[in-house]
Structure 1
Amino acid sequence: MEAGISDEEILDKLRDVLRDTFEIDPARVTPGAHLFTDLELDSIDAVDLAIQVQEMTGMRIKPEDFKNVRTVGDVIATVHALLER
């Protein structure tokens, strides 16, 4: 992924990851969707998601980069931050 990627392109990739990894309907994956309450992920799933984002971006994610992530929009912002490093 490159730094100029749009929020919509990241969202599309996240929809694919969440569908393929957690069997979540892509229609449920919106920027405002809460990972734990709306998408029913747990802490182990969050680690798996962080690994998927790491693979998607090719950037190493430190635990503190991901600890405040609560919504799909937060994941999108984290991807942007990683790509801008």
Structure 2
Amino acid sequence: MAQPDEDPSFFERERERFTREISTEFDELLSSTNGLNRKLEEVVTMTKEYATIAELWSSFYQLMRSAGQEETGEEPQTASAPGASASHQ
């Protein structure tokens, strides 16, 4: 170690400078990673909300489809997505 009255060597000054830079960069990386994590959590939350809405519309569609088939006297068919082709029938 250098004596208190001696100037630090070039190596010691550079080591200290690099240590500060690395520390600053890690802080920025941590901040960016936290921001990314929050955005990913928002996306997951929105995806779950869309799934709930899709299930609601699917239930409504199936209800309306079965009600329409009962009025026409048709047999209720198995569930299929709206717009799906029925070429297998």
TM-score (norm 1): 0.26
Higher relative contact order (CA 8 A, sep 6+): 1
> Relative to total residues, which structure has the larger helix share, 1 or 2?
2
Larger radius of gyration: 2
TM-score (norm 2): 0.25
